[in-house]
Structure 1
Amino acid sequence: MISFMQRNLKVFFRDRSAVFFSLLASLIIIGIYVLFLGEVYASNLSSIENSREIMDNWIMAGLLATTSVTTTMGAFGIMVDDKAKKINKDFYVAPISKYKLAGGYLFSALMIGFILSVITFIFAELYILLNGGSLIAAASLPAFIGTLMLTVIANAAMVFFITSFFSSNNAYSTASTIIGTIIGFLTGIYLPVGQLPQAVQWIVKLFPTSHAAVLLRQIMMNTPLTTGFSDIPVNYLADFKEEMGIVFIIGDNTVSNATSIFFLLATALIFFALTAFNLSRKTS
C-alpha cells in the first residue's frame, strides 16, 4: 500500500496542471478578496484600528478550511483517471486487495491535502504580514495544526465518498468545478453567515467544512480581535463573531468548539464507512 501511495503522490505532483487546478478555487477566493472584498469588509470596521488585519485573518482562515476540499478532489482525480483508463484492472490482478488500493488512494489524498494546506497557510501568513498584520502566535500553532489535520481528514472523507461514484474524467471535472464554485458560499466566505437568509444559514451550519472554518477563525483571529475590540463593549464583539461566522449560534445556544470537533470527527467516520460500503459493492 505504501508503494501504491507513493505512486499516487508522484503522479499528482508531476502533473503541474493538476496541482494548479486543485488550488484554483483558493486562488479565485484570494483574488476576489484582494481586488474587491478586502476594502469593503475593512471599511465596515472603520472604528477598529486593525480592521484590515482582522479581516485578512478571517478570509485566510476560511480559505484554509476550503483548500483541503479542492486539493483532495484533485488528488482523488487520480483514482477516477485510473478507472477511466482501465488502469485499475491492472491493479486488481496484482497480489494486493482492493481495500489496500483504496487505502493508497486515501492516504495519498490526505498527504496531498495536508501538504498543500500547509503551503497555503504559509503564503496566507506572509500575505497578512506584508499587509501590516502579525503572524499567528507560536503558542497557537499546535492547536492550529491539529485543527488543520482534522479539517483535511473530514473533507477528504466527504470527497472520497463523492469520488467513489465517478468513473469518467469529464463528469468528475464538472463536479469539481461545481464544488469549487459553491464552497465559498457554504463556508461563509463570499458573504458572511449573518448576511445570508435564515434557510441558507442552516445549510451553512450543517456543512462540516463550515465548522472547520469556525475553529480556524477562532485560532487565527484571537489576537487581532482581542487587540481591535479592547476598548469596545463586549456585546459588539459577540455580535460581530456571530455575523462573521466566527461562532455559530443555534437557537439560543452557542456551538462549542468541542461540538464542532465532534461534528468533524463524526463526518469523517460516517463518510469513510459509506465509501467503504460503496466500494465493496463495485466489482471494477
Structure 2
Amino acid sequence: MSAMVKRNLKIYFRDKASVFFSMLSVIIIFALYILFIGDSVNSGLKFLPHPNRLMRAWMLASASITTSLGAYGVIISDRENKSIKDFYSSPVSRRQVAGGYIVTGFIISIIMSIFTLIFGEIYLGLAGGAVLDIETLLKLFAVIVLSAFASSAIASFIISFLKTNSSYSAASTIVGTLIGFLVGAYIPIGSLPDNVQWLVKYFPCAHSAVLYRQLLMKPAIKANFANQPASVLKEIREMFGIVFVYDGHTAPAWVSVAVLLVTGVVFYLLAVLVMTRKQNEI
C-alpha cells in the first residue's frame, strides 16, 4: 500500500491544476475577506481597539479546513482512464487499493492545511497581527491532523460514488461552497438564522473550525477584550463560532475532538466498504 501512496502523491503534486483547485476555496475565502467581508464585519466591531486582528484570525481559521475534497482527484482520474482495473486485477487486495487512495487523501489534506496555515501566518504577520508561539503551533498541528482525519474521511466517502472528472469537478464546487457556509467561513455563524445555526453546530467539520478559532484567535481576543465586559466577549465568541452553545451550555473542546474522531472512523469505514464492493470496477 505504501508504494501506491507514493505513486498517488507523485501524480497529485505533478498536476499543478489539481494543487491549484485544492487551494481554490482558500483563495476565495481570502479574496472575499479582503474585498467584502472584512470591511462589512469590522464596521460592527469599531468599539474594539484592534478589530482587524480579530477578523483576520477568524478568516484564517475558516480557510484552513476547506482543502480536503481536492485531494482525491487521483482516484477519479484512475477510474475514468480505467487504471483502477489494473490494480484490482493485481495481487493487491481491493481493501489495500482503497486504503492507498484514502491514505493519500489524508496526507494531502495535512500538507495543504499546513501550507494554508503558513501562508496565513505570513499574511497575519505582514498585516500587523500576532505571530503564534511554538506551543500554539504544535496544538494547531494536532488540530490539523484531526481535522484532516475527519474532513478527508467525509471527502473519501463522497468520492467513492463519483466516476468521472466532470462529476468530480461539479461535486468539488458544490461541496466546497456548501462547506464554506456550514463552517461559517463566509458569514459569521451568529448572523445566520437560528435553524441554520443549529445545522452548523451539528455539522462535523464545523467542529474543526471551532478548534482552529480557539487557538488562532486567542492572541486577538486577548488584545481586544482585556478591558471589555465578560458579556461582550461571550457574545462575540458565540457570534463568530469560537464556541458552540447547546441549550445554554457551552460545549468544551473535548466535545469537538470526540465529534471529529467519531466522524473520521465512521466515514472511513463507509468509504472503504463502498470502494471495495463496487462491482462495476472489477
Separation of aligned partners in 2, 1:111 and 1:280: 21
Q: Is the 8 A contact 2:98 2:276 kept in 1?
A: no
- Show the counterpart of 1:99: 95
Question: Does 2:172 correspond to 1:176?
Answer: yes
Q: How far off its partner does 1:141 sit?
A: 1.6
Counterpart in the other structure of 2:124: 128
**Which consecutive residues of structure 2, in runs of 5 or more, have no partner in the other structure?**
none
- Distance in 1 of aligned mates of 2:213 and 2:7: 35
- Within 5 Å, which residues of 2 pair with 1:80-119? 80-119=76-115
Letter in 2 for 1:30: F
Distance 1:281 1:113 in 2: 25
Partners of 1:241 and 1:11 in 2: CA distance: 42
Q: Which residue of 1 aligns with 2:22?
A: 22
Displacement of 1:259: 0.6
1:153 to partner: Cα distance: 0.6
**Post-superposition shift, 1:42?**
2.0
- Which residue matches 1:4? 4
**Alignment RMSD (CA, Å):** 1.1
- The equivalences for 1:261-280 within 5 A come to 261-280=257-276
SS in 2 for 1:245: coil
C-alpha deviation, 1:219, in angstroms: 0.5
- What residue is the counterpart of 1:40 in the other structure? 40
1:1-284 correspondence runs (5 A): 1-67=1-67, 69=68, 73-283=69-279, 284=281
Deviation, 1:104, is 1.1
Q: Which amino acid aligns with 2:20?
A: F
Measured in 2, the distance between the counterparts of 1:123 and 1:227 equals 22
- Counterpart CA distance in 1 for 2:169 and 2:181 is 20
Could you report, residue by residue, the CA deviation over 1:27-79 in whole angstroms, capped at 9, with x for unpaired residues?
01110101111122222211211110111001100110223x3xxx2221211
Give the secondary-structure state (helix, strand or coil) at the position aligned to 2:111: helix
* Partner Cα distance (2:63, 2:71) in 1: 18
What one-letter code is carried by the residue in structure 2 that aligns with 1:41?
Answer: V
CA distance in 2, matches of 1:117, 1:176: 17
Contact 2:99 2:272 in 1 (8 A): no
* 1:94 match: secondary structure: coil
Contact kept, 8 Å, 2:25 with 2:63, in 1: the verdict is no
Q: Secondary structure at the match of 1:166?
A: coil
Partner SS, residue 135 of structure 1: coil
User: Within 2, Cα distance between the matches of 1:261 and 1:270?
Assistant: 14
User: What is the rounded CA distance, in whole Å, between the counterparts of 1:17 and 1:123 in structure 2?
Assistant: 19
The 3-state SS of whatever aligns with 2:66 is helix
Q: CA deviation at 1:134?
A: 1.2
State the Cα distance separating 1:111 from its structure 2 match: 1.2
Q: Percent identity?
A: 39
Whole-Å Cα distance in 1 between the matches of residues 65 and 164 of structure 2?
27
Residue type of the alignment partner of 1:29: I
CA contact (8 A) 2:130 2:219 kept: no
Unaligned segments of structure 1, at least 5 residues? none
